[in-house]
Amino acid sequence: MTTGEKISAVGNVLYVVATPLGNLRDITLRALDILASVDVIAAEDTRVTSKLLARHRIATRMLSLHAHNERRRAAEIVSLLGSGKSVALVSDAGTPAVSDPGAVLVRAVAQAGYVVVPVPGPSAVIAALSASGIAAPQWLFCGFLPAAATARRAALTRVSDYPGALVFYEAPHRIAATLDALVAVLGPERGLVVARELTKRFETIHRCRLGEAPAWLAVDTDRARGEFVLIVDAPGATIRAGDDADAHDRMLSTLLAELPVAQAVRLAVKLTGAPRNRLYERALKLSKDDRH
């Protein structure tokens, strides 16, 4: 097949098609070709997918495939493939079967001997990592953490020593509890990127230390809206934060020239977000050095 050539779906094949995270223009030409030419689209929520199809004037028949009916639908779709039909699998947003329904279907189709073809495109994980500024040659996708507090803490403890970045998905009604758990288990010093509502109107990408995240979230109720990708930097990155020591010393020296130690440290904490204990120790040393 020539690169760029318009294609049509082939019978007996399941296509796993990535769809936009929010902006409906973020869809590949190949995905449009497949969605328009398959016999059936298996959609997580047909109401959501119908908006995408209407935008591109695609009238392919849909059936629902979600967490509650996936096993039953998988048998139906295997039967469709057996009769020579082609099927596209889509989720509400992003790449199917990644913290979304679809893995059960893909496995059933593969086990039945039919071809599964990925049609790559938008992924919230990759989009968030690409805009995070975190240099992460290794990263671990953790998906959604458990809802129960004890299970959530246990899950975080298991990955707390992973040498790379940790990537989580989270829903708005659980974001506050999850940030609190991240701080409690991983500590306040690790870097964090909060990516919210990616590709949508109120897209937000916020960078801070983990310990600062709960306060940032609490400032504005709108910050808890939408879908989240959370990226926690590697443990080793905490050590690299020591590169800021010279800048912190310069700031403290300037503040100490005009203010008592306690006030200088309090202001430096607000300006830098660095731990109070670290800045206080540096301020005491700088004050002592100045007296000699």
Predicted local confidence at residue 2, as pLDDT: 55
d(CA 286, CA 90): 60
Candidate ranges 179-193, 227-241, 248-262; pick with highest mean pLDDT = 179-193
Of the candidates 149, 221, 139, which has an alpha carbon nearest to the alpha carbon of residue 182? 149
Computed on alpha carbons and rounded to an integer, the radius of gyration of the chain in Å comes to 25
Say yes or no to pLDDT of 64 above 70.
Answer: yes
Predicted local confidence at residue 257, as pLDDT: 87
Say yes or no to pLDDT of 227 above 80.
Answer: yes
pLDDT band of residue 240 (cuts 50, 70, 90) is: very low
Q: Where are the domains of the chain?
A: 13-122, 125-234, 240-291
Say yes or no to pLDDT of 103 above 90.
Answer: yes
Say yes or no to pLDDT of 179 above 80.
Answer: yes
Residue 61, beta-bridge partner list: 40
pLDDT band of residue 248 (cuts 50, 70, 90) is: confident
d(CA 188, CA 276): 12
Average pLDDT taken over every residue of the chain: 91
Average pLDDT over residues 237-263: 74
Average pLDDT over residues 242-252: 71
Say yes or no to pLDDT of 1 above 60.
Answer: no
- The topology under which CATH files domain 125-234 is 3.30.950
CA atoms within 13 A on the CB side of 11: 6
Predicted local confidence at residue 244, as pLDDT: 62
Q: What percent of the chain has pLDDT over 70?
A: 93
User: Among all chains, which residue has been given the structure tokens 């500024």?
Assistant: 133
Say yes or no to pLDDT of 154 above 50.
Answer: yes
pLDDT band of residue 77 (cuts 50, 70, 90) is: very high
Say yes or no to pLDDT of 39 above 70.
Answer: yes
Residue 204, beta-bridge partner list: 196
Predicted local confidence at residue 25, as pLDDT: 94
Say yes or no to pLDDT of 241 above 60.
Answer: no
Predicted local confidence at residue 250, as pLDDT: 83
Buried b (16+ CB within 10 A) or exposed e, 113-139: ebeeeebebbbbbebbbebbebebeeb
DSSP 8-state class, residue 101: T
Predicted local confidence at residue 242, as pLDDT: 47
Say yes or no to pLDDT of 272 above 80.
Answer: no
d(CA 21, CA 50): 15
d(CA 95, CA 101): 10
Q: What is the pLDDT of residues 129-152, one digit of tens each?
A: 999 999 878 999 999 999 999 999
Of the candidates 17, 81, 72, which has an alpha carbon nearest to the alpha carbon of residue 49? 17
How many helices (H) and strands (E) in the chain? 12, 10
First to last CA, the chain: 78
**What predicted TM-score, i.e. pTM, was given to this entire model?**
0.78
Q: Which of 13-22, 89-98, 268-277 has the lowest mean pLDDT?
A: 268-277
Kind plus residue range of the DSSP H or E element containing 199: none
Say yes or no to pLDDT of 32 above 90.
Answer: yes
Predicted local confidence at residue 3, as pLDDT: 63
Average pLDDT over residues 15-44: 97
- The topology under which CATH files domain 13-122 is Cobalt-precorrin-4 Transmethylase; domain 1 (3.40.1010)
User: Among all chains, which residue has been given the structure tokens 């120790």?
Assistant: 281
